[in-house]
Amino acid sequence: MDFDILYMMKTPLFLGNPGQVAQEALQVEIHSEDLENNNQKQLLLLRAMCAGCDVNGLKEQMKNMME
């Protein structure tokens, strides 16, 4: 079984604490070449912000993703 590098972010999201996902995201280190995990990390952040109704955070995150 493969180790899930985003486990730290997924756990608070699925346990109903989307606000903690952003804190955990800072601790998850992913190499820039690992596009699959980087994309999943960004999508988890967006999902957590949607769940937490963080509109300003969503706008900022999406702006950063477009750069």
pLDDT digits (tens, 9 = 90+) for 3-51: 788 998 999 988 999 989 989 998 988 998 999 999 999 999 999 999 9
Mean pLDDT, rounded, for 43-64 = 91
pTM of the model: 0.81
> Cα separation of 41 and 28, whole Å?
9
| Nearest of 29, 15, 18 to residue 54 by alpha carbon | 18
Burial of 66 (0-12, 13-18, 19+ CB in 10 A): exposed
Cα of 27 vs its chain's centroid, Å = 11
Total structural domains within the chain? 1
Q: Establish how many alpha carbons lie within 13 A of residue 13's alpha carbon, considering only the half-sphere containing its beta carbon.
A: 20
> Cα separation of 34 and 65, whole Å?
15
Q: Report yes or no on 1 lying in a domain.
A: no
The whole-number pLDDT of residue 2 equals 61
Mean pLDDT, rounded, for 46-67 = 90
Q: Which domain holds residue 56?
A: 7-66
Q: Report yes or no on 2 lying in a domain.
A: no
Q: Report yes or no on 44 lying in a domain.
A: yes
